[in-house]
Amino acid sequence: MSNCDLLDKCGFFQKHAKSHQAACQGLVTLYCKGPKQNECKRKEYRKKHGQPPPDDMLPGGAMLRS
């Protein structure tokens, strides 16, 4: 499977792609590089609002807490 077409513009991917947290790596594998690309809430947000979502919005739609 190819990578998400928005990968180079995605704040979540840019910020968390090299994270050592297993949860972030799992999300990147599923949503950014895997079978759930079409279920990404970040993509939906971008389409609906015409701008990227906050960097800490997870692909599932929840906000990452620091």
Tens digits of per-residue pLDDT, 14-59?
A: 888 777 678 888 888 999 999 999 999 999 999 999 999 999 999 9
Written as six digits, the tokens of 29 are: 């594998």
pLDDT at 64: 82
Measured CA to CA, the distance from residue 18 to residue 24 in angstroms comes to: 9
The structural domain count of the chain equals 1
**Residue 40 burial by CB count (10 A; 0-12/13-18/19+): exposed, middle or buried?**
buried
Written as six digits, the tokens of 56 are: 């800490």
pLDDT at 24: 81
pLDDT at 58: 93
pTM for the predicted model, two decimal places = 0.84
pLDDT at 66: 65
54 within a domain of the structure (yes/no): no
DSSP 64: P
The boundaries of the domain holding residue 25 are 7-49
Measured CA to CA, the distance from residue 13 to residue 23 in angstroms comes to: 13
